Structure 1
Amino acid sequence: MAKAEETILEIDLKALGHNYTYLRSKIKPETKFMAVVKAYAYGSDALAIAKYLENLGTDYFAVAYVNEGVTLREGGITAPIVVLHPQKVHFKTLIRKNLQPSIYSKAILSDFIATAKELGKTDYPIHLKFNTGLNRLGFSDHELPDIATIIQQQNAVKVIALLSHLAATEDPNEMDFTDLQLKRFDAVCKKADTLFKSNTLKHVLNTSGIINYPHAQYGMVRSGIGLYGYGNEAHIDAELQPVMTLKTIIAQKHTILPGESVGYNRKYKSEHKTVTATLPLGHADGIGRQYGQGKTYVSIHGKAAPIIGNVCMDMIMIDVTDIECEEGDEVIIFGKELTAHEFSKTAQTITYELITGLSQRIKRILKN
């Protein structure tokens, strides 16, 4: 394990491999596995993560936008890459880099077909996304006949997969709604295969879906957050290993007398003699102001040190009065013991927001 001499994000590839193996153990051997590596692989390092997973046998990758897929292709990734939210302006780049679009509306479908024709493509692979209740992106089921007509009147693109997105697979209180979404998707799939006269690949399950709804794995499943060590449920978290550890160092210590304040707007005022430490990271690094004023703590030598006052752009102050520590000592913001899930909960947010918001100015260090 690297000892921090500055603010670093340590990425444990062995933990990634453990999580991948665990998730794959929950599906049939023949079911394909799509690794979601959008948003810098959930705040880590998309190319390093994708290379490692490709070597382990990952079948597909998913990104949100075309530029993310371009980074993977130019970095040497050869597996199929699905772009979940492609924009018309990037269609030519998408095709030239051999990426597969998730098509979610008739307008996007028509525009993509026109671009594929312009580039002289035949049977270019596309995925069709259907809205089954998340109400974010996707065709409605009643649009299927029109879609089929559009598809059958051209040969520039070919539908190779159908997908949808589930809203609450981790919530036991929403099992009825999830079951409804799955029934809707199943109906769409059967109707689509009849209209398209083909048996397309289907994918609908996310990380929690893999665990809680294995009967709906179809031909492929998708996992994002689970690969990085978080499963949205305590019993899943217990089986996974956090991939990322955010570390920094104590830059300076101060002794604060009673009545003195710390930081902007004097949001912390000492009631007694207090020893503080300043850390070189802040809201420009993704640790927002919501973590300040005593809500959240970090770890020094295994002991909890609360964040005091307002979080600054590049600095955080913590209370180390009862902790033996020196300038230059390592500080764990979150990792395997104090997890990103626990850290984010103190500010009433979620793991996804915390880890995907980590600034790219933080140095990434690969472990294992």
Structure 2
Amino acid sequence: MSEAKETVLEIDLGALAHNYRYLRSKLDKDVKFMAVVKAFAYGSDSEVIAKKLEELGTDYFAVAYVYEGIRLRKSGITKPILVLHPQLTNFEEIIDHCLEPNLYSEKILRKFIEIAEQKNQKNYPVHLKFNTGLNRLGFSQKEIPTIYKLISETESLRVASVLSHLAASEDWREREFTLGQINLFRKMTWELIEKLDYEPLLHICNTSGIINYPKAAFSMVRSGIGLYGFGNDETIDPHLKPVGKLKSVISQIHHLEKGDTVGYNRAFKVEKPTKIAILPVGHADGINRRYGNGKAGVMVHGNYAPIIGNVCMDIIMIDVTDINCEEGDEVMIFGGDQHPVKFAEAGGTISYELITGIQRRVSRKIIEEKS
């Protein structure tokens, strides 16, 4: 009998350390490392992950929103924290908690200068986002003179870094486009730097950029998904270790006869004597309905058990007809013998969506790094 008592996400800090060291090994020693811990550290635990990464020596952190940065500050994180998508209403909080905003339009640049001057700031670190082709956030090349004019007219801020974001660094079919982005970024940054009397950090590489375009590392790189064990490339994934394992437990076993049905809308119809197991996890925990009706499955004692019927809010049902198992036994939803990428692909999605979708009501268990 397994000791599992509930659905739990195990967070392996040893795997995190392995991934960090692997990615670091791809960089020159003087290149700084920004660890992306947005979305609760990609669905795990942002405070635990950030503390471990700070211990490992990361130079910077990045979050999406201000409240994520505040959470890290309150947990004791002292390294610089970049807020990738700050909103105008949060600028005072950014300064109050020593966070660093990513400024991506003339409007927010002007507003941050205004707030910084009101709060008597001098050389407050900010980051400038350049749009090189992803066409999300970012200044265009023609706005560089305006950027410089606004910066040169105030002592309230200092540019800590200039960044951009690669659109398809994992896709070799888009190599020409990616190289075009890198070259445009180089041109835009030097156009600005020539006007400044100092050189900020420069970064455009994400995880796939680190692997596929190491010469574009500039002075810093950003890694998110790679830290959590995914390389967006089947040749890289074996070198990384997924940080999270989602486990559950068999709550009940039913023996069904031909003609019985299972779950909402009677979506699964029994055609022969069938043994099913009930698990305490559902779409409210992050296992989307797309995984039901045989699309995906879980591992029970190393054996594959398909999810049958529609995924419920708090429950999934699996077919364990040919598996020797009992109520209370542990079930591996993803991790171990079932790589999260494989589980995600079975549901027609990607690892990012799967792991960031694991809800907060799922218990977290921290597995410490082995010394």
Task: Tell whether the structures are fold-level matches, with TM greater than 0.5.
Answer: yes
1:274 & 1:308 partners in 2: Cα distance?
A: 11
CA contact (8 A) 1:206 1:222 kept: yes
2:339 & 2:67 partners in 1: Cα distance?
A: 30
Q: Does 1:324 align with 2:327?
A: no
CA contact (8 A) 2:208 2:231 kept: yes
2:208 & 2:197 partners in 1: Cα distance?
A: 32
Instruction: Tell me the secondary structure at the aligned position of residue 313 of structure 1.
Output: coil
CA contact (8 A) 1:274 1:319 kept: yes
Task: Name 1:194's counterpart in structure 2.
Answer: 194
CA contact (8 A) 2:277 2:317 kept: yes
Task: Name 1:183's counterpart in structure 2.
Answer: 183
Task: Name 1:365's counterpart in structure 2.
Answer: 365
1:247 & 1:207 partners in 2: Cα distance?
A: 27
By how many angstroms is 1:219 displaced?
Answer: 0.5
More deviation, 149-158/17-26: 149-158
Task: Name 1:37's counterpart in structure 2.
Answer: 37
* RMSD between superposed Cα atoms in Å: 0.8
Task: Name 1:57's counterpart in structure 2.
Answer: 57
Instruction: Tell me the secondary structure at the aligned position of residue 299 of structure 2.
Output: strand
Instruction: Tell me the secondary structure at the aligned position of residue 239 of structure 2.
Output: coil
CA contact (8 A) 1:241 1:336 kept: no
Return 5+ residue gaps in structure 1 as ranges.
Answer: none
Instruction: Tell me the secondary structure at the aligned position of residue 283 of structure 1.
Output: coil
Q: Does 1:309 align with 2:309?
A: yes
Instruction: Tell me the secondary structure at the aligned position of residue 195 of structure 2.
Output: helix
By how many angstroms is 1:3 displaced?
Answer: 4.3
CA contact (8 A) 2:299 2:337 kept: no
1:337 & 1:323 partners in 2: Cα distance?
A: 16
Task: Name 2:273's counterpart in structure 1.
Answer: 273
Task: Name 2:263's counterpart in structure 1.
Answer: 263
**Alpha-carbon deviations, 1:150-169, whole Å to 9, x = none?**
11111111112100000111
1:366 & 1:21 partners in 2: Cα distance?
A: 19
1:322 & 1:213 partners in 2: Cα distance?
A: 48
- Paired amino acid for 1:114: E
Instruction: Tell me the secondary structure at the aligned position of residue 162 of structure 1.
Output: strand
Task: Name 2:222's counterpart in structure 1.
Answer: 222
Instruction: Tell me the secondary structure at the aligned position of residue 235 of structure 1.
Output: coil
- Paired amino acid for 1:365: K
- Paired amino acid for 1:117: E
2:235 & 2:134 partners in 1: Cα distance?
A: 25
More deviation, 152-161/71-80: 152-161
Task: Name 1:19's counterpart in structure 2.
Answer: 19
Task: State the TM-score, normalized to the length of structure 2.
Answer: 0.98
- Paired amino acid for 1:133: G
- Paired amino acid for 2:137: L
Task: Name 1:146's counterpart in structure 2.
Answer: 146
1:210 & 1:337 partners in 2: Cα distance?
A: 28
**Alpha-carbon deviations, 1:163-195, whole Å to 9, x = none?**
000011110100001000001100011101012
Aligned length: 367
Instruction: Tell me the secondary structure at the aligned position of residue 176 of structure 2.
Output: helix
Instruction: Tell me the secondary structure at the aligned position of residue 235 of structure 2.
Output: helix
- Paired amino acid for 1:312: C
2:198 & 2:242 partners in 1: Cα distance?
A: 40
**Alpha-carbon deviations, 1:349-368, whole Å to 9, x = none?**
00000100110000100002
Task: State the TM-score, normalized to the length of structure 1.
Answer: 0.99
Task: Name 2:282's counterpart in structure 1.
Answer: 282
**Alpha-carbon deviations, 1:45-67, whole Å to 9, x = none?**
00100000101110000000000
Instruction: Tell me the secondary structure at the aligned position of residue 313 of structure 2.
Output: coil
- Paired amino acid for 2:147: I
Instruction: Tell me the secondary structure at the aligned position of residue 108 of structure 1.
Output: helix
CA contact (8 A) 2:162 2:201 kept: yes
- Paired amino acid for 2:55: N
2:3 & 2:347 partners in 1: Cα distance?
A: 27
Q: Does 1:340 align with 2:340?
A: yes
**Alpha-carbon deviations, 1:58-89, whole Å to 9, x = none?**
00000000000001001000000000000111
- Paired amino acid for 2:245: T
Task: Name 1:111's counterpart in structure 2.
Answer: 111
2:48 & 2:13 partners in 1: Cα distance?
A: 9
1:170 & 1:178 partners in 2: Cα distance?
A: 10
1:231 & 1:212 partners in 2: Cα distance?
A: 10
1:337 & 1:218 partners in 2: Cα distance?
A: 38
Return 5+ residue gaps in structure 2 as ranges.
Answer: none
2:21 & 2:358 partners in 1: Cα distance?
A: 26
By how many angstroms is 1:198 displaced?
Answer: 2.0
